[in-house]
Structure 1
Amino acid sequence: MSKHIEFATQADQVHSELRSAILSGALAPGERIQMNLIAPRMSVSQGAVREALSRLAAEEIVIATAQRGYRVASLSGEELSDLTETRIALEQICLRASIAGGTVEWEAALVAALHRLLRLPEFEDEGGTRLSAAWSEAHQAFHAALVSGARGVWMNRFRSALYVQAERYRRLSVPLRTMDRDVAGEHRQLCEAALARDADSACALMRSHLLRTTEILLRSPLLMTTAPARQEAARG
């Protein structure tokens, strides 16, 4: 293996592990990332760690601070509200385009993605506080399948970026659920509306689906103690 390929492989490995740790909450919002500990623990070069962190900074899930390295981006209610409304608008655009342009193959892929999602357990524990990694992966695949009939490359690229940002918040909402929410039913209804080519219903369901998570978090104390990520970056 050439040095270039080895470096790229190491950077991919670090990026994947850190990204998973941030999305799962194992690395908490605002937490400092100790670069000097990552390289020996993962048996990779310091350069690969810096490359991975640069990628995560480009995704805006870590923040580079002058003279202080990197921290996990903070969360805030204001940012969540803005993110949710932006995501809803883009998801609806993608969903309409997907329903209009989706083929029989798109329908089959969507049905398969829903089937896998519904067959996997959502939680790793009986108390329902820790999401299953396999379920989270299937959840992302289902939402991607919904809009995969859309042909716009940039449209889907921006949608994917917003999904990653929203995922950090969504996972935090899981242990806070106090209302009886039928998540499986919400996904089933979204699929049925898309397959029926009922774009208006599908878009309304998508808005409701995304807003429920936001409402749970905005009622919680979690976001009241975190500063917006942009303020953190500005302080350096």
Structure 2
Amino acid sequence: MTMRPALTQADSVYERLKTDILSCRLRPGAKIRINEVARELEVSLGAVREALSRLAAEDMAVATAQKGFSVPDVSIEDLLDLTETRIKIEDLCIRASIKNGDIEWETGLVAAFHRLQRLPETETANDKRILSERWAAAHQQFHEAIVAACNSPSLMKIRAVLYAQTERYRRLSVPMRTIDRDVAAEHKAIFDAVIARDANLAVTLMDKHLRLTTEILVDSLSNNAAIAT
């Protein structure tokens, strides 16, 4: 059995900060104070700086001369650009994965879909609808399972960055969503097309899935100026 290498201090800080940014515990535009992070996580200042540099390289943090690091702001323009780019990358990854996928890939996809379908998307806390962390993890695993046979590390790296950036927007909008949609049915249609090896249908359905998400997000951003505060 292959052992995973132990996480360094910088790895641990990176994972913690990325989780806080994606979950919006660190809000858009918030300052990330190196001293406070180091003290809270009981790590060195160097580990925090290294982690923040990695996040900045993924556009998950912003480095400003003389001002340190902050969480990236959100905007409709940025979201639309991310969506268009992600659709193009997903198209390439899905087509390659369907072409290369074997029985082990299919088995992994079936398991990921089954898990996602058995979990509720949201929870209720303090009279607010919030995204379920278990569902969010299963959702990511499902989308990753679709493209797992892509066999292009470069494409997969780009795709992972785009997924993380759009995920932050989606999480921000969940408590304010006003448009109903059957997400489970959308996922099932995508799953069925991928399992059937119908690449054209699969990428068409994924395109619609991502665009609908963006439409909902744009509506949330337009109607809720406080979303970034």
Match of 2:189 in 1: 189
Rounded to whole Å, the distance in 2 between the matches of 1:222 and 1:136 is 24
Compute the displacement of 1:173 (Å): 2.3
User: What secondary structure sits across from 1:220 in the alignment?
Assistant: helix
The match for 1:16 is 15
Matched, 1:166 2:166: yes
**Aligned CA distance change for structure 1 residues 128 and 122 (closer, same or farther; 3 Å):** farther
Indicate how the Cα distance of structure 1 residues 222 and 70 shifts in structure 2: closer, same or farther if over 3 A, else same. Answer: farther
Q: 2:76 maps to what in 1?
A: 77
Task: Give unmatched runs, 5+ long, in structure 2.
Answer: none
Q: Which residue is 1:151 aligned to?
A: 151
Secondary structure at 1:194 match in 2: helix
Quick one: distance in 2 between partners of 1:223 and 1:67?
Answer: 34
Q: Give 3-state SS (helix, strand or coil) of 1:64's partner.
A: strand
Return the alpha-carbon distance in structure 2 between the equivalents of residues 179 and 224 of structure 1: 14
Q: Which residue of 2 aligns with 1:45?
A: 44
Between the aligned partners of 2:43 and 2:223, the Cα distance in structure 1 is 35
Deviations 1:164-202 (A, max 9, x none): 111111112212321221111111111100001111111
Residue 86 (1) aligns with residue 85 (2): yes
8 A Cα contact 1:75 1:223, kept in partner: no
Contact 2:26–2:71 (CA under 8 A) maintained in structure 1: yes
Structure with more relative contact order (C-alpha pairs < 8 Å, separation 6 or more): 1
Q: CA offset at residue 223 of structure 1?
A: 8.7
Q: Secondary structure at the match of 2:73?
A: coil
Query: Aligned partners of 1:9 and 1:124: how far apart in 2?
Result: 33
- Check the 8 A contact 1:117/1:138 in 2, yes or no: yes
Instruction: Measure, in 1, the Cα distance between the counterparts of 2:11 and 2:123.
Output: 26
- Contact kept, 8 Å, 1:173 with 1:213, in 2: the verdict is no
Which letter does structure 1 place at the counterpart of 2:129? T
Q: TM-score, normalised by structure 1?
A: 0.88
Q: Which amino acid aligns with 1:146?
A: I
Does structure 1 retain, via aligned residues, the 8 Å contact 2:173–2:221? no
Shift of 1:157: 1.4
Query: How far did residue 123 of structure 1 move?
Result: 2.0
> Which amino acid in 1 is paired with 2:44?
S
Structure 2: how far apart are the matches of 1:180 and 1:222?
Answer: 17
Tell me the TM-score normalized by structure 2: 0.90
Root mean square deviation of aligned Cα: 2.0
- Corresponding position of 1:176: 176
Q: Which moved more, 1:53-62 or 1:166-175?
A: 166-175
Q: Kindly indicate whether residue 90 of structure 2 is the aligned counterpart of residue 118 of structure 1.
A: no
2-side partners of 1:220 and 1:180: how far apart?
Answer: 13
Partner of 1:131: 131
Which amino acid counterpart does residue 37 of structure 2 have in structure 1?
I
| Matched-pair contact (CA < 8 Å) for 1:122–1:131 | yes
Q: Aligned residues: percent identity? A: 52
Q: CA deviation at 1:163?
A: 0.8
Distance 2:216 2:122 in 1: 18
CA contact (8 A) 1:130 1:174 kept: yes
**1:58 counterpart residue number:** 57
In 1: Cα distance, 2:208 partner to 2:173 partner: 16
Q: Deviations over 1:100-144 (max 9, x none)?
A: 111111111100001111122222326662112221111111101
Question: In the alignment, which residue of structure 2 is the partner of 1:230?
Answer: none
Q: How do residues 19-34 of structure 1 correspond to structure 2 at under 5 angstroms?
A: 19-34=18-33
- The letter for the 2-side match of 1:92 is D
Structure 1 residue ranges (4+ consecutive) displaced by more than 3 angstroms after TM superposition:
221-226
Q: How far did residue 22 of structure 1 move?
A: 0.5
